[in-house]
Structure 1
């Protein structure tokens, strides 16, 4: 019997816009944010309150970011989170927030959905620990803006990438289903032993040419589209895939079945 995951009911009918933390506003993060804005607009058209996103990144725009990331020459030296949040707010009329620090920072909170677009393993390990440590909402209500339900992680190398959507805790499933309902989706740090992964933060590139030697020009935007499509499908009520592996060199993609 094939497996299926039914979305946490609160995300489908929330009292307020679904709270989303996007951690990392670089190559993948800037593409993800644009897709999230489109998702929020679409949800509102369907009678849903949409999304409220906190863009979290302590880095600034550099010249090497131009072309590969969605920044202009006039934005060099400015904080990435601030630039992207302001741009989306002006274009879509949103009130998304920018947090100019690296997550987790002092007094930071969790959100209903955490989306990570970070470039190192250490950050993923720390974020995973923080989410599980703060699994209970900050207020007495069962459904609060800080109650973490899902973790969507984006990762890539030069021309390959993966997206993994996991649940922070078990999600209640219908008692009756034509397919095997799964209440727990493995997060990226549960699918892979990140402690054994050797990766080093290479630091900022000095030029666009150097940056392109590290990552293909379209790997970030392609993986962002695939991952946000899974997130969008979550709002339909159920999903049968909770991730994808992508090889841009061979143009192959393989879903991660539940």
Structure 2
């Protein structure tokens, strides 16, 4: 029997736009934000309230970002989050929010406005993922849902030509309907349960000084390809109310995409 996960019922017909936090506005985050803007437009066209996205990033645009990330020469010196959100709001008529700062590293430093129904991490370091899960799993989740109830965490990660996307559930279990056709699964592993990050040595080489140097670390289309494939999982979840896969592994060298089944 096929295993599937049904989306939390609250997100199908919420009383407000579904809240989404995107952490990181670099190579992947800038691409994910654009995908979410199209996602939001499509949802609202189907009668759904759509999305309200908050983008976090303390960094400014440099010359090395032009080309691989969604910035132009005129953006140099601007905060990445503010630059991208302003552009999206002007283009799509949204009122999304930019926070030119890091996401809180501890729950005691987080406010209600820092929480969202869906959290998407597009960062390039291990510590931020561990801190994020420590925060999300510590938030009490009751049967009553609101704009600040964390339900799903999607993480994007990549090397130069390979990467993965993993969508996990924040509550221990999302209530599933009774089904005679499928085996329903209420709990999806988050990225920190797939990868034992505590055993992985952090390797942060710092920002690149040129586009050529940046491309030695991450190939030109790895971020945009991951963003499209990952956001497609979210789209399927909202469009069909359920998913058969909650992540994937991508290798641009071999041109292979391996899904992660429920």
- TM-score, structure 1 normalization: 0.96
Structure 2 residue aligned with 1:206:
209
Regions of 4+ moved over 6 Å? none
2:226 equivalent to 1:223: yes
Structure 2 residue aligned with 1:112:
117
Aligned-residue offset at 1:127 = 0.4
Structure 1 residue aligned with 2:41:
41
Query: In structure 2, what is the Cα distance between the partners aligned to 1:28 and 1:119?
Result: 10
Instruction: Tell me which moved more, 221-230 or 126-135.
Output: 126-135
Aligned residue for 2:235, secondary structure, equals helix
Alignment of 1:1-258 (within 5 A): 1-104=1-104, 106-108=109-111, 109-136=114-141, 142-169=144-171, 170-235=173-238, 236-258=240-262
Aligned-residue offset at 1:175 = 2.1
- Distance 1:177-1:80 versus aligned 2 partners, 3 A rule: farther
Query: In structure 2, what is the Cα distance between the partners aligned to 1:177 and 1:84?
Result: 45
Aligned-residue offset at 1:202 = 1.5
For structure 2, the residue ranges without an aligned partner over 5 or more in a row are: none
Query: In structure 2, what is the Cα distance between the partners aligned to 1:119 and 1:131?
Result: 19
Query: In structure 1, what is the Cα distance between the partners aligned to 2:71 and 2:5?
Result: 37
Query: In structure 2, what is the Cα distance between the partners aligned to 1:177 and 1:33?
Result: 37
Instruction: Tell me which moved more, 98-107 or 246-255.
Output: 98-107
Cα root mean square deviation, aligned: 1.2
Aligned-residue offset at 1:196 = 1.2
- TM-score, structure 2 normalization: 0.95
Query: In structure 2, what is the Cα distance between the partners aligned to 1:251 and 1:135?
Result: 41
Aligned-residue offset at 1:203 = 1.0
Deviations 1:124-167 (A, max 9, x none): 00001011112437xxx811111000001000000000000000
Aligned residue for 1:70, secondary structure, equals coil
Instruction: Tell me which moved more, 97-106 or 227-236.
Output: 97-106
For structure 1, the residue ranges without an aligned partner over 5 or more in a row are: none
Query: In structure 2, what is the Cα distance between the partners aligned to 1:177 and 1:224?
Result: 34
Instruction: Tell me which moved more, 192-201 or 218-227.
Output: 192-201
